[in-house]
Amino acid sequence: MIAAALQAVGREHLAVVSSFGTESAALLKVMADVDPAIPVYFSIPDGCFEETLAYRDTLIATLGLRDVRSIKPLEEALSRQDPDRELWFSDPDACCRIRKVEPLARALAPFSAWINGRKRFRVAPRRYSGGRTGWRSG
């Protein structure tokens, strides 16, 4: 499937989104076997553990990934919408939107296709926002 997507749209129009978690490693391995230069996006949440970043770096080196990009929320959005970094407690959807959805939408805007390893049961409570990128709760 990855090879077919790559052939259909080309590397400059295809991206992979990964958490670099254990379950994502299988997708990254398959992708690297097809083309390790496909851009891979990794979302870095606030307070990301050093162990998480070390594991990500190990996967990059082991799989020979050549184009890994980090996604971070805009600092001005965090300062304006969540200055105390406690939005999660009062509005988890807004917290996710400024930390994950909006940064991912910005990152994927130049691409016409993207691949991720989300399981169907995890996507069920969200629906596609109508654009090429981004999910919204609802």
pLDDT digits (tens, 9 = 90+) for 54-105: 999 999 999 999 999 999 999 999 999 999 999 999 999 999 999 989 999 9
Whether the per-residue pLDDT at 38 is higher than 50: the answer is yes
Q: Strand pairing of 135-137 and 68-71?
A: unpaired
Encoded tokens for 87: 């939005």
Q: How far apart are CA 32 and CA 70, in angstroms?
A: 18
Most confident of 39-48, 99-108, 118-127: 99-108
Nearest to 38 by CA among 72, 71, 63: 63
Q: Check if the beta carbon of residue 82 is closer than 8 Å to that of residue 95.
A: yes
CA dihedral 122, 124, 128, 133 (to 10 degrees): 10
Percent of the chain with pLDDT strictly greater than 70: 86
Whether the per-residue pLDDT at 44 is higher than 90: the answer is no
Q: How far apart are CA 136 and CA 125, in angstroms?
A: 9
Q: What is the pTM of this model?
A: 0.80
Q: How far apart are CA 15 and CA 38, in angstroms?
A: 6
